[in-house]
Structure 1
Amino acid sequence: TMTCFITVGSTRFDALTNEILSEATLSALKRLGVTNVVAQVGAGEFESKRFEEVFGSSCDRDSGSTTFAGLKIEFYRYKPSIAEDMSKAKFVIGHAGAGTVLECLRLRKTLVVVVNELLMDNHQVELAAKLADLDHVLYCVPSDLAQTMVNPGLFTLQPYTPPDMAKVARHIDGLMGVRA
């Protein structure tokens, strides 16, 4: 089995929430060999018609699971920690918040970062673009998710190596006049 974990964060990101259930995204996930999709949807709302096609009309809007189009799909709004879901996944599709992005990189997970076009002060795009330039992530807007996932470079991204913090500390000490 191959699991894809999707996280939209703690706020509303309906463009990504709804892209999760789109035919194009589900088809791309299947082409990649994904069998299980686990989605953390935060405060987001699914479009009613598509939600009912996938989960049925009796499904709770706060959490649920189903098998649809050959994929086991489950969703929830929040958990105290998503670290376990991230760890179990072969790859992650996530919002562009720095905490989520850096945690995925720390866990050495293949990551597709989805940036929210509606945010005015979009430092998230800068972070995603820089990490993509360094070949650590792929990034896109929600409407390009399916196309981005089938990029042949998805599973050949370069692992992120965090900086040596001891060197950083020594440099700061030197700037402050502290002798080792």
Structure 2
Amino acid sequence: MSEVDHGTKSKRLVFVTVGTTSFDSLVRAVDTQEVKEALFRKGYTHLIIQMGRGSYIPTKSAGEDESLDVDYFTFSSSIAEYLKSASLVISHAGSGSIFETLRLEKPLIVVVNEDLMDNHQSELAEELAERKHLFCARPQTLFRTIQEMDLESLIAYQPGDCNTGC
């Protein structure tokens, strides 16, 4: 008997979060057919988008016909359960979302919002990507980042220890 039962494919969730802001360009990017197909080819089965204050409404899908099951919501009192159940997180560049995801040791793609003025968030995301703790993208490069990402190349983030020299 085969170990893999193709009839009951295990759920592999991609959770997208924009935080409390509006980041329609990220929501639009994950809602494209090419991004959804790239995620499906990587073995993901479900996509949940937390869209915040955005006005762009993504397309829901029940996941039939070899495609992702897609759902969305605006806000939740806590996204912790979504992060815990995710196989991959795609996030805005807010430090809270980044570090909460890294603490959970979840693979992370941070998408920088280039519409923000004085974008210090991009510096954080780019530095952590350089250290191989996460992948960094822009809305227009998200598809390529997903296609090329190698989760095995990521290095677990070790938070600083305040007991040793703060």
Query: Is 1:114 the equivalent of 2:111?
Result: yes
**RMSD of aligned alpha carbons:** 1.5
Does the 8 A contact of 1:132 with 1:139 survive in 2? yes
Segments of 5+ residues of structure 1 without an aligned counterpart are 56-64, 170-180
The Cα shift of 1:152 comes to 4.0
- Aligned equivalents of 2:88, 2:116: Cα separation in 1: 25
Aligned match of 1:176? none
Task: State how far apart, in whole Å, the 1-side matches of 2:25 and 2:106 are.
Answer: 23
Quote the offset at 1:168 in angstroms: 2.6
Number of residues of Structure 1 aligned to a counterpart in Structure 2? 155
Matched, 1:163 2:164: no
TM-score (norm 2): 0.88
Question: Equivalent residue for 2:48?
Answer: 38
Residue 89 of structure 1 and its aligned partner are, at CA, apart by 0.5
CA contact (8 A) 1:138 1:154 kept: no
Alignment correspondent of 1:15:
25
Q: Which residue of 2 aligns with 1:74?
A: 71
Q: State yes or no: 1:25 paired with 2:35.
A: yes
User: Secondary structure in 1 aligned to 2:34?
Assistant: helix
Q: Which residue of 1 aligns with 2:101?
A: 104
Tell me whether 1:126 sits opposite 2:136 in the alignment.
no
Gaps of 5+ in 2: 1-10
1:153 deviation in Å?
2.3
SS of corresponding position for 1:15:
helix
8 Å CA contact 2:24, 2:56 repeated in 1? yes
Q: Which amino acid aligns with 2:23?
A: F
Are residues 152 and 114 of structure 1, via their aligned partners in 2, closer, same or farther at CA, if it must alter by over 3 Å?
Answer: closer
SS of alignment partner, residue 92 of structure 1:
strand
Q: Residue type matched to 1:125 in 2? A: S
| 1:3 counterpart residue number | 13
Q: Which runs of 4+ in 1 moved over 2 A?
A: 65-69, 152-156
* Distance in 2 of aligned mates of 1:155 and 1:4: 17
* Pair member with larger Rg: 1
Equivalent pair of 1:17/1:41 in contact (CA under 8 Å)? yes
Report the TM-score when normalising by structure 1: 0.81
Deviates more, 1:149-158 or 1:101-110: 149-158
Hey, what's the Cα distance between the residues in 1 that align with 2:151 and 2:25? 22
Deviation at 1:21, TM superposition (A): 0.9
Task: Compute the displacement of 1:156 (Å).
Answer: 2.8
CA distance in 2, matches of 1:134, 1:100: 18
CA distance in 2, matches of 1:166, 1:74: 42
Q: Using the TM superposition, give the Cα deviation of residue 70 of structure 1 relative to its aligned residue in structure 2, in angstroms.
A: 1.6
Alignment counterpart, residue 83 of structure 1, candidates 66, 80, 86 = 80
